[in-house]
Structure 1
Amino acid sequence: MSRRHPAAPAAVTSPRRYRRWVMPACALLIMVSLGVLVWLGEGGGPVLPAASGTAAAIGPARPAHASAEIATTVSALPPEEQRLGVWLQGRYGSKLAHPYWRLQVIESLKRYLMEKYPNDWLARLKAMLKLFFPADYEQLTASLDALESYNAWLAEIKQSMTFSSKEERLRATWDKRLQLFGEDAKVIWQAQLKQEKVEAALQQLDTPGLPLSTKVDRYVQTLVDIYGNAATNPDKSHPVQQMEGLLALNTVQDQLHSLPPERRQEELHHLRSALGLDAEAVKRWDELDAERAQRAAAGASYMQERAALAKQYEGEALQLQIQALQNRKFGPEEAQYIRNEEETGFYRYQERQQIGIN
């Protein structure tokens, strides 16, 4: 049976989705689909996936005041916290040899306890770690201490330190991670390391001197080197994001725009086939490319005619002429979306089309 892949034309041609094709290309370089990404967020901290199901497992949190005494046995804990501990044992108990999952346990408990016991959450956190994970307690507290030091450092640099570039900040962040977590840092932020390798490869490919076919081959080989054969298996990866990673490069877009339609299609086929899409999927992409090209041509024509009207009319007369043009070019429903956008200063057809993306 043929595999089906994303990007059915109906999903792209919905009016509200048009906004996507004029957004900055850098927003598309995400590649997060190739693994659970523990990423350097706005503040540089670890963004750990939320422990989904926690609230359902323990029930709604109830307000409580900090107690002078901290339970030293499981039975002394409130029932709600006993249930939380049992849930964490079942979810993470067998994974605590891995430093990433140790941080998951810590973060799950920390979020809960900080809200319920804002005055002594840290002492309670350590006590609960000891009660529910005695065999892993030393490693967990070491990870906790490292994480708290790391978070304190992030808060400090946010307030008092500046970096001359994103690269300098990233180097400083990695230095601090390695200082606090040792080699475990490379395991905890393994997904980010892979992402950084992909981005470094893309930077090297973003040059007009390389033929487009060479860029495709080198890019796909980079993905395979980093992620293994899953990178070219659409059932195990997200080929849409993978394609956009390369296609969003400025020099790649320049090359695609410079090619005649037949050669452009060949290059897009090359990329899509190299990423594992079958003939049926490639054909659907061809159909989508044709729709996008038609839409881009209509948009370019609209902007030219709109500019010409602005030279002939002004005020209310100009607005009436533009509305008539919009209705004629796009139909009444889509024209209204365009008018609403333009009232906010957004002109969807002002930017160059990103071939293969929008």
Structure 2
Amino acid sequence: MKRLKPAIAFSALALLFAGSLFDWSAPQKPSGKLPSATPAAQAQEPATRPDTNGDHRVVELAVHYLERYGDTITGPATQARLYNERIDLLARFPESGTQLFQAAITTAFPELADTIFALMARLERYNRWLDNHELRLQGLPEMERYAEIWQQREAIFGALASQIWAEEQNPVEAKSAQLQQTLARLDQATELPLAELAHQLKTTADELYGMDLSRQLAGSGATGHALFTMDSVQQQLASLPPERRQQSINDLRRQLGYSEDAVQALARDDQRREEKWQAGKAYMEERRTLADTLSGEPLEAALVELRQRHFGFSAPTIEREEREGFFRFQRERRYGLN
């Protein structure tokens, strides 16, 4: 199986948290957070439409909405922009704004009116949540705030959330693209020492996502996975004797921000993996010798005994893998990973 490129594990977590610089509310003109609705606006839209026949304001509003939003009104992001129109209308006409908005939307977009009104109710609920939690959200670290906001968006809007706030994804994807470019460059930078490769990776993460997020990524193992997947790193580690190799791996993890407890725990995992690879290497050499001298049932019986001697209780698993054509010890060795 082809190995994953360094950017995949790192970028997946980065995308989850990075993006806290963007507005929390529905898409709108660049004027900051959406204003809170008036008490009249906070009520859900009535089930029956008001009678506004003869009110020239309805026609004017319908024409305005058609001209401004008609080309893309089928999209949830465009429909969400009508929330600001509704708020402005309620501010101008506190007593009749709700009725005017409903009548104008029904006139302009009769087939989408119910969908738009349902979205307005969700946006009202979302903005009330923002108002109620504003102080607490401001006190959270950026990554936690952004994650909680997106969690609430998805709880209220479901799959529509990613469409309504689609513009937020573009800057996040841009950062991910920058990170992937750096990782691709470092992947081939075999002339750089190990410490410099780790330094450039960490510096890039800090610059793109901030030190708090960078520490979170290190703690999750994403940064280490990205580093140890690089060919430039693996080539240098493979050239070292075992003791120096493990010391270098430990030093790299410390440089990325791993705690000392984590470094020692991962070193123990590395040691167990090393023992398995050494057993696997010896097994594959003996297996090739047996295959050169035996065949049929004698070969199968000899392989059963050989697998049992090298792998103990894991022998049946190794046998099943080989029957399916997978030989785990023919995989590429990736120090610090497998």
TM range (shorter): 0.5 to 0.7
Shift of 1:24: 1.7
Matched, 1:203 2:146: no
Residue type at the aligned position of 2:336 = G
Q: Distance in 1 between matches of 2:258 and 2:124?
A: 49
Matched, 1:244 2:225: yes
2:15–2:173: 8 Å Cα contact kept in structure 1? Answer: no
The aligned counterpart of 1:217 is 199
Match of 1:351 among 331, 335, 338: 331
With over 3 angstroms needed to count, the CA separation of the structure-2 counterparts of 1:206 and 1:186, relative to structure 1, is farther
User: What 5-or-longer segments of structure 2 have no aligned partner?
Assistant: 19-43, 50-75, 81-109, 127-162
Match of 1:317 among 252, 276, 298: 298
With over 3 angstroms needed to count, the CA separation of the structure-2 counterparts of 1:221 and 1:322, relative to structure 1, is same
With over 3 angstroms needed to count, the CA separation of the structure-2 counterparts of 1:233 and 1:131, relative to structure 1, is closer
With over 3 angstroms needed to count, the CA separation of the structure-2 counterparts of 1:125 and 1:302, relative to structure 1, is farther
SS at 2:9 equivalent: coil
Q: How many residues align?
A: 219
Deviations 1:191-219, CA, capped at 9 Å, x for gaps: 33222222111111122222222111111
SS at 1:277 equivalent: coil
The aligned counterpart of 2:263 is 282
The aligned counterpart of 1:299 is 280
Matched, 1:335 2:315: yes
Residue type at the aligned position of 1:247 = F
Seq. identity, %: 28
SS at 1:29 equivalent: helix
2:5–2:229: 8 Å Cα contact kept in structure 1? Answer: yes
With over 3 angstroms needed to count, the CA separation of the structure-2 counterparts of 1:345 and 1:302, relative to structure 1, is same
With over 3 angstroms needed to count, the CA separation of the structure-2 counterparts of 1:195 and 1:28, relative to structure 1, is closer
Residue type at the aligned position of 1:353 = R
With over 3 angstroms needed to count, the CA separation of the structure-2 counterparts of 1:132 and 1:289, relative to structure 1, is closer
The aligned counterpart of 1:228 is 210
With over 3 angstroms needed to count, the CA separation of the structure-2 counterparts of 1:215 and 1:131, relative to structure 1, is closer
Shift of 1:283: 1.4
With over 3 angstroms needed to count, the CA separation of the structure-2 counterparts of 1:312 and 1:121, relative to structure 1, is farther
Shift of 1:300: 1.2
2:6–2:225: 8 Å Cα contact kept in structure 1? Answer: no
Matched, 1:126 2:108: no
Shift of 1:33: 2.2
Please report the RMSD computed on the Cα atoms of aligned residues, expressed in angstroms: 3.4
The aligned counterpart of 2:9 is 30
RCO comparison, higher one (Cα < 8 Å, 6+): 1
2:6–2:230: 8 Å Cα contact kept in structure 1? Answer: no
Shift of 1:268: 1.4
Deviations 1:250-285, CA, capped at 9 Å, x for gaps: 221111111122332232122211222222221112
SS at 2:334 equivalent: coil
1:247–1:356: 8 Å Cα contact kept in structure 2? Answer: yes
With over 3 angstroms needed to count, the CA separation of the structure-2 counterparts of 1:340 and 1:135, relative to structure 1, is closer
Larger Rg: 2
Residue type at the aligned position of 1:218 = Q
Matches within 5 A, 1:264-283: 264-283=245-264
TM-score by length of 1: 0.53
The aligned counterpart of 1:326 is 307
With over 3 angstroms needed to count, the CA separation of the structure-2 counterparts of 1:27 and 1:304, relative to structure 1, is farther
Shift of 1:357: 0.4
Shift of 1:309: 0.9
Q: Distance in 2 between matches of 1:318 and 1:26?
A: 39
Q: Distance in 1 between matches of 2:17 and 2:213?
A: 15
Residue type at the aligned position of 1:125 = T
Shift of 1:132: 4.7
Q: Distance in 1 between matches of 2:256 and 2:123?
A: 43
SS at 2:279 equivalent: helix
